C-alpha cells in the first residue's frame, strides 16, 4: 500500500502515479522512497513488461521537490535528500524493464530530474520543463546537472540551469529532452492521448524478448558512461550472453517459422 502513489497494471504496463495533485505532485522524501519501492515491485513482477510514470490530475507530472521539506534542511540534510533522490533515480535508469515518463503538465526541478531518469519521455503539448532551482538559491540535486547535460549538451544544460527558465514541449522536443509529443485527436483529452501513446509504446516493448530488453538497456546506459572501446566490449559480452537464452532460440526459430515468438524471459 502506498500513501502518495497509485500503482496499477494495465495490459502488462505498471502505471506509477504520483498522487499529490493538491501539491502539484511535489516530491518529498516519502514520495521518492515509495517510487523506489513501486519500481522494485514492478521489476520483480513477471506479469509486468513495462513501467510508466505519471502525475495525478492534468496540471502537473511533478512540479518539483516539496519546498516545505527543503526549507527545514541543513547542509547535511540537504546532502542526504540529494543522495536519496539520486539512488532512486539511478534505479529507474538502470531498471531492466523499460520505464517511460508520461509528462502530463509541469515537469520542473525534481520532476524534470525524475523524467530524465526514465528511458523514454512522452509529453502533452502543454507540458512545461525546467530546472528552476537557482530561483531558490539551490542547484539541481537529483541528477539534473548530469542527465540534462548528457541529453541536451553542456551549453543548453547550463543555460537552462543557470537561468532557471521554463521551456515548452515543442522546445523540449527540439533540443532532445523528450522523445515525443502526444497530440490529441478530435474529442480526445490531452491526458487520454498521452496515456494511449505511452501504452502503445510500452506494450510494443513489452512484447519483445525480456532478456534482450534488459541487456539492451544495460548496454546503452552503462556503455554511455564508458569509453567507446569499453562500451563495445560490454556490448559484445551482452550480445554473447543472449545466445545462452531460451528467448534467443525462440526468437530465431519463430522468425524462420514465420510465426510470432512466445518469449519466456529466460
For residue 204, the tally of other CB atoms under 10 A from its CB is 12
Q: Let me know if 250 is a catalytic residue.
A: no
Average pLDDT estimate for 15-36: 96
Can you tell me the distance from the alpha carbon of 189 to that of 196, in angstroms, rounded to the nearest whole number? 11
Of 126, 132, 127, 122, which is closest to residue 178 (Cα–Cα)? 122
Residue 257, C-alpha cell as written in the block: 517459422
Output the pLDDT for position 250: 86
pLDDT at 266 over 90: no
Catalytic residue among 43, 58, 69, 113: 113
Would you state the CATH architecture of domain 5-206? Alpha-Beta Complex (3.90)
pLDDT at 193 over 90: yes
Q: What is the pLDDT of residues 116-149, one digit of tens each?
A: 999 999 999 999 999 999 999 999 999 999 999 9
Q: What is the pLDDT of residues 80-126, one digit of tens each?
A: 999 999 999 999 999 999 999 999 999 999 999 999 999 999 999 99
Top CATH class of 210-257 equals: mainly alpha
Residue 220, C-beta contacts closer than 8 angstroms, at least 6 positions apart: none
**Domain regions of the chain by residue span:** 5-206, 210-257
Residue 101, C-alpha cell as written in the block: 515518463
- Of the chain, the percentage scoring pLDDT greater than 70 comes to 100
Q: How confident is the model at residue 2 (pLDDT cuts 50, 70, 90)?
A: very high
| N-terminal to C-terminal alpha carbon distance within the chain | 30
Residue 43, C-alpha cell as written in the block: 521489476
Catalytic residue among 133, 171, 186, 218: 133
Q: Let me know if 113 is a catalytic residue.
A: yes
Q: Using an 8 Å Cβ cutoff, are 211 and 265 in contact? A: yes
Distances from the Cα of 261 to the Cα of 209, 243, 253, angstroms: 9, 16, 8
pLDDT at 189 over 90: yes
- Out of 48-52, 143-147, 149-153, 186-190, least confident range: 186-190
pLDDT at 72 over 90: yes
Amino acid at each position: 500500500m502506498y500513501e502518495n502513489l497509485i500503482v496499477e497494471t494495465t495490459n502488462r504496463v505498471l502505471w506509477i502515479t504520483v498522487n499529490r495533485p493538491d501539491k502539484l505532485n511535489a516530491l518529498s522524501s516519502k514520495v521518492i522512497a515509495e517510487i523506489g519501492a513501486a519500481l522494485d515491485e514492478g521489476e520483480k513482477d513477471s506479469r509486468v513488461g513495462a513501467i510508466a510514470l505519471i502525475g495525478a490530475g492534468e496540471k502537473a507530472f511533478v512540479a518539483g521537490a516539496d519546498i516545505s521539506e527543503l526549507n527545514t534542511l541543513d547542509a547535511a540534510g540537504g546532502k542526504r535528500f540529494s543522495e536519496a533522490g539520486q539512488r532512486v533515480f539511478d534505479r529507474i535508469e538502470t531498471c531492466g524493464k523499460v520505464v517511460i515518463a508520461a509528462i502530463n503538465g509541469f515537469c520542473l526541478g525534481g520532476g524534470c530530474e525524475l523524467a530524465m531518469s526514465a528511458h523514454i519521455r512522452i509529453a502533452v503539448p502543454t507540458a512545461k520543463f525546467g530546472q528552476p532551482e537557482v530561483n531558490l538559491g539551490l542547484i539541481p540535486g537529483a541528477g539534473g546537472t548530469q542527465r540534462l547535460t548528457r541529453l541536451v549538451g553542456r551549453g543548453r544544460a547550463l543555460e537552462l540551469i543557470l537561468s532557471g527558465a521554463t521551456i515548452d514541449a515543442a522546445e523540449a522536443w527540439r533540443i532532445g529532452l523528450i522523445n515525443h509529443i502526444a497530440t490529441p485527436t478530435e474529442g480526445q483529452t490531452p491526458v487520454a492521448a498521452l496515456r494511449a501513446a505511452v501504452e502503445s509504446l510500452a506494450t510494443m516493448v513489452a512484447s519483445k524478448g525480456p532478456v534482450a530488453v534488459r541487456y539492451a538497456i544495460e548496454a546503452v546506459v552503462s556503455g554511455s558512461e564508458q569509453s567507446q572501446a569499453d562500451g563495445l566490449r560490454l556490448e559484445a559480452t551482452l550480445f554473447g550472453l543472449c545466445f545462452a537464452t531460451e528467448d534467443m532460440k525462440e526468437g530465431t526459430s519463430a522468425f524462420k517459422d514465420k510465426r510470432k515468438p512466445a518469449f519466456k524471459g529466460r
